[in-house]
Amino acid sequence: MRRLFLAVGATLVVAAALLTWWHLAFAWLLVPLVVLFGVGLRDMLQREHSILRNFPLAGHLRFLFEAISPEIQQYFIERHTDGVPISRNHRALVYQRAKDLDPTHPFGTELDLYDKGYEGLRHSMYPVQALEQEPRVTIGAGRCTQPYEASMLNISAMSYGALSGRAIEALSHGARAGGFYLNTGEGSLTEHHLVGECDVVWQIGTGYFGCRDDQGRFDRDAFVERARRPEVKMIEIKLSQGAKPGHGGVLPAIKNTEEIARVRLVEPHRTVLSPPGHSAFQGPRGLLEFVASLRELSGGKPVGFKLCIGREDEFRALCEAMVETDLLPDFITVDGAEGGTGAAPLEFTDSVGMPMRPALQLVHRTLQEFDLRERLVLIASGKLLTAASLVRALALGADVCNSARAFMLSLGCIQALRCDKNTCPTGVATQDPELVKGLSVADKRLRVERFHRNTVRATLDLIAACGVSDPAQVTTDIFLDAESWADLGNPRPG
Ligand SMILES: Cc1cc2nc3c(=O)[nH]c(=O)nc-3n(C[C@H](O)[C@H](O)[C@H](O)COP(=O)(O)O)c2cc1C
């Protein structure tokens, strides 16, 4: 290929040079040929890309097609039930709910209901009337002087930094209008979260952003200053997140702007590392004492922690410590390994942590075993974006659900999969001011509120079809899957 390129390229350039010498009008031919020949020569001499050394010029096509392959995949190849991590049908459902459009589906299901992985719900012969109003879930009753009444669906942790300021502002306004909470993510509490005057859950990660000293250790005074703000309704300690459990975070220097540095209490324009584990406490007792101290420092607000389950024995040890010390969190957020992230190493995303459903079941049953279940609230997250997925989480023990990516979709996210590149085309997950400009807070705040309202309504309708009206009464009896009808046996025995 190299020889062919040299021979053809040199011949064409010489021919074009002779034509130009004969008549200057042929210069238009000579110039691009010389440029292309120069690029090809450079390809052959560079050492970084073997493909370009072996296939000068032609090798660039590979890079071009690779760059546009996600778009080709999504626009031309993807079927309605395809698309990862969130299928086209599910993305469309969120868009419809966010726009208050008719979310009906024509002609029948596109799923193969005889597929082994099929999961449905059992309806009742005696459906009941769905509740008009969603019942609120009280968090921190008995332990807190400022308990919180939560909606069944809320915005899961996403930091300012991972999301743009405008995206957070639209979420804040939407949450205020719909009466649900917005979790700040570990990137600290910012003006963008507060602008809509919604209920805020302040998340504290291992970097203690917004409540740290100059060594990166937990700082009580800085914590009190923010935790006592009236908008902050609850505090969540982040132990781990499903998409990257046990992995610390990196705030690259380029993203560490003056504004981000100010709210996170770090030096600007420097790379900031958050360690994988907490330095403010150690072990189960340490965690529970930290929870109790934050409750007191916050002025009696509910305090809980978020984790992705890894080792069952560690969770049991934590329950034992709760029983021994009688120090309990007000809530536990169980995040599934299928959860989303702005950026994470692929091995962590694909291979670490328990998915939400088994994790939720494990936590629910272990708490029951230790007689703790009724004393705290369980929050679940991990691909909860349809009403059916919410009902399944409630049946497995969740009292409250959080969603991150569904709310991103309601903001206009198109699953371009560029959250880690700062090039999100919809302005949702980028800090590039030119891209952020495209996101209209005035429009997207309405979509956030509508997505929440329509999803809660659909969830209450689905529960009612299963014969109960109160979400707290939903149990795993309503699950219908291939295994459950395998038990029905042979219809014509003998
Ligand atoms: C862009 C983005 C940023 C996130 N940032 C955080 C974070 O700061 N702290 C955290 O605990 N989880 C974070 N998460 C995880 C979500 O809060 C949630 O647990 C997870 O995505 C599961 O929910 P989902 O499947 O509805 O997206 C983030 C997720 C996304 C998509």
φ, ψ for residue 233 (rounded to 5)?
A: -100, -30
CA of 188 from ligand 1 middle (Å) equals 14
Output the pLDDT for position 348.
94
Mean pLDDT along residues 199-225: 97
Q: Is 219 in the pocket of ligand 1 (CB under 6 A)?
A: no
Output the pLDDT for position 415.
95
Question: Is the distance from CB of 423 to CB of 430 less than 8 angstroms?
Answer: yes
CA of 243 from ligand 1 middle (Å) equals 8
Name the β-bridge partners of 149.
138
152-168 confidence digits (pLDDT tens) = 999 999 999 999 999 99
Is beta strand 249-251 parallel, antiparallel or unpaired with respect to 272-274? antiparallel
Q: Alpha-carbon distance 345 to 39, whole Å?
A: 34
| 172: nearest Cα among 191, 153, 151 | 191
Output the pLDDT for position 163.
95
Output the pLDDT for position 379.
98
CA of 173 from ligand 1 middle (Å) equals 19
Q: Which residue has the tokens 């069952």?
A: 312
- pLDDT of residue 19 exceeding 70, the answer is yes
Is beta strand 377-381 parallel, antiparallel or unpaired with respect to 153-155? unpaired
CA of 380 from ligand 1 middle (Å) equals 12
Say whether the peptide bond before residue 284 is cis (omega within 30 degrees of 0): no
Q: Is 156 in the pocket of ligand 1 (CB under 6 A)?
A: yes
Output the pLDDT for position 493.
59
Binning pLDDT at 50, 70 and 90, where does residue 456 land?
very high
224-248 confidence digits (pLDDT tens) = 999 999 999 999 999 999 999 999 8
Task: Indicate the fold that domain 137-482 takes in CATH.
Answer: TIM Barrel (3.20.20)
Q: List, in order, residues 6 or more apart from 11 with CB less than 8 Å away.
A: none
The residue to mutate among 163, 239, 241, 384, having the most atoms of ligand 1 within 8 angstroms of its beta carbon, is 241
DSSP line for 50-72: HHHHHSTTTTHHHHHHHHHHHHH
Mean pLDDT along residues 488-492: 68
Q: What number of CA atoms fall less than 13 Å from residue 248's CA on the CB side?
A: 14
Find the helix or strand (DSSP H, E) in which 334 lies.
strand 331-335
Mean pLDDT along residues 145-150: 98
Binning pLDDT at 50, 70 and 90, where does residue 254 land?
confident
Residue 425 CB: number of other CB atoms within 10 A? 15
Structure tokens at 288: 């529970």
Output the pLDDT for position 70.
85
Output the pLDDT for position 271.
84
| Every domain of the chain and the residues it spans | 2-74, 137-482
- pLDDT of residue 444 exceeding 80, the answer is yes
Question: Is the distance from CB of 61 to CB of 52 less than 8 angstroms?
Answer: no
73-127 confidence digits (pLDDT tens) = 888 888 888 888 999 999 999 999 999 998 788 999 999 998 888 889 999 999 9
Q: Does residue 319 come out as left (phi exceeding 0), alpha (psi in the -120 to 50 range) or beta?
A: alpha
Quote the crossing angle between the two packed helices 387-395 and 356-369, to the nearest 10°.
30
Q: Is 158 in the pocket of ligand 1 (CB under 6 A)?
A: yes
DSSP summary character for residue 75:
I
Mean pLDDT along residues 470-475: 95
CA of 45 from ligand 1 middle (Å) equals 45
* Residue of minimum CA distance from atom 3 in ligand 1: 158
Question: Is the distance from CB of 379 to CB of 334 less than 8 angstroms?
Answer: yes
- pLDDT of residue 486 exceeding 80, the answer is no
Q: Is 472 exposed, middle or buried (0-12, 13-18, 19+ CB in 10 A)?
A: exposed
Mean pLDDT along residues 427-445: 96
Q: Is 184 in the pocket of ligand 1 (CB under 6 A)?
A: no
Quote the crossing angle between the two packed helices 27-45 and 2-22, to the nearest 10°.
160
Binning pLDDT at 50, 70 and 90, where does residue 494 land?
low
Q: Alpha-carbon distance 335 to 360, whole Å?
A: 8
Query: Average pLDDT of the chain?
Result: 94
326-377 confidence digits (pLDDT tens) = 999 999 999 999 999 988 999 999 999 999 999 999 999 999 999 999 999 9
What percentage of the chain has pLDDT greater than the value 70?
Answer: 99
Question: How many degrees, rounded to 5, is the angle at CA 212 between CA 206 and CA 216?
Answer: 65
Q: Alpha-carbon distance 142 to 309, whole Å?
A: 27
The mean-pLDDT minimum among 61-65, 73-77, 456-460 falls in 73-77
* Residue of minimum CA distance from atom 28 in ligand 1: 341
What percentage of the chain has pLDDT greater than the value 90?
Answer: 85
Output the pLDDT for position 256.
83
Residue 229 CB: number of other CB atoms within 10 A? 13
Question: Is the distance from CB of 449 to CB of 178 less than 8 angstroms?
Answer: yes
| 412: nearest Cα among 383, 448, 382 | 448
Question: How many degrees, rounded to 5, is the angle at CA 321 between CA 318 and CA 324?
Answer: 155
Question: Is the distance from CB of 147 to CB of 139 less than 8 angstroms?
Answer: yes
Q: Is 340 in the pocket of ligand 1 (CB under 6 A)?
A: yes
The residue to mutate among 156, 193, 400, having the most atoms of ligand 1 within 8 angstroms of its beta carbon, is 156
Name the β-bridge partners of 401.
153, 380
CA of 153 from ligand 1 middle (Å) equals 15
Q: Is 157 in the pocket of ligand 1 (CB under 6 A)?
A: yes
Output the pLDDT for position 117.
82
Output the pLDDT for position 255.
75
CA of 434 from ligand 1 middle (Å) equals 24
